[in-house]
Chains A and B, each alone.
Chain A
Amino acid sequence: QVQLVQSGSELKRPGASVKVSCKASGYTFTNYAMNWVRQAPGQGLEWMGWINTNTGNPTYAQGFTGRFVFSLDTAVSTAYLQISSLKAEDTAVYHCARARSPKTSGSLDYWGQGTLVTVSS
């Protein structure tokens, strides 16, 4: 069965970096795009962008350029989200989510459990 398993919660100081992993199983990793979605405490869902798991080409939403980087290790079917120069406002749960179809990128059928990143001094 399809599973996306994310790395555990992180507590970071402002200015530090964090790398969240999302390990996929149960399907051919490179056939389906991977999206990233942020949810700040008590807030709604915010689409951050997606990465083409076949080419490695990322697309970022405005507001997630510069400090946010999507990457892949296809050998281990894992997607990564790295955030640098962390700020308090980056405190949120970060979800990876798979595109439903090989032909689409934005309809999300399987989700990771979420990784809480807390930025605090």
Chain B
Amino acid sequence: DIQMTQSPSSLSASVGDRVTITCRANHTISNYLNWYQQKPGKAPKLLIYAASSLQGGVPLRFSGSESGTDFTLTISSLQPEDFATYYCQQSYRTPYTFGQGTKLEIK
């Protein structure tokens, strides 16, 4: 199975901060990398697919990038509604494994 390692596992930041979350695959996955946001008690929401493509309706402050097997989710200016848990997922090969999650909290 392809392992996805996210870092950090938790992060404290303030409104307006620029935040970066990283996900590393232990095998090539091309650009088959997705990012999701999940708020407590809610279903996950797709933010980014194909490493850098913004899902419809997602604010432009969210962006994704890739460098080999390293992938990054960036939030350019944190808003109050962005405090949530973020997951990466590879969809290159089954099982489509998720990272362990990054909990973004208010500082």
Contacts and interface: CB of A to CB of B under 8 A. Distances in A.
Given A44-B100, A44-B101, A104 B43 contact: no
A36 B89 CA distance: 14
Given A45-B101, A111-B43, A104 B91 contact: yes
Given A100-B49, A107-B89, 15 more contacts: A44-B100, A45-B101, A47-B89, A50-B96, A100-B46, A105-B94, A105-B96, A106-B32, A106-B90, A106-B94, A106-B96, A107-B46, A107-B50, A107-B91, A109-B55
A74 to B, nearest CB: 22
Interface of B, helix, strand, loop or mixed by DSSP: loop
Contacts of A104: 91
Nearest to A99: B91
**Which range holds the interface residue count of chain B?**
20 to 34
A104 B93 CA distance: 11
Interface of A: 35, 37, 44-47, 49-50, 59, 61-62, 95, 97, 100, 104-109, 111-114
Contacts of B71: none
Contact of A61 (B36, B91, B95, B99): B95
Contacts of A35: 96
Identify the interface centre among B38, B49, B95: most chain A CB within 10 Å of its CB: B95
B63 interface: no
B97 interface: yes
Contacts of B8: none
A107 B53 CA distance: 12
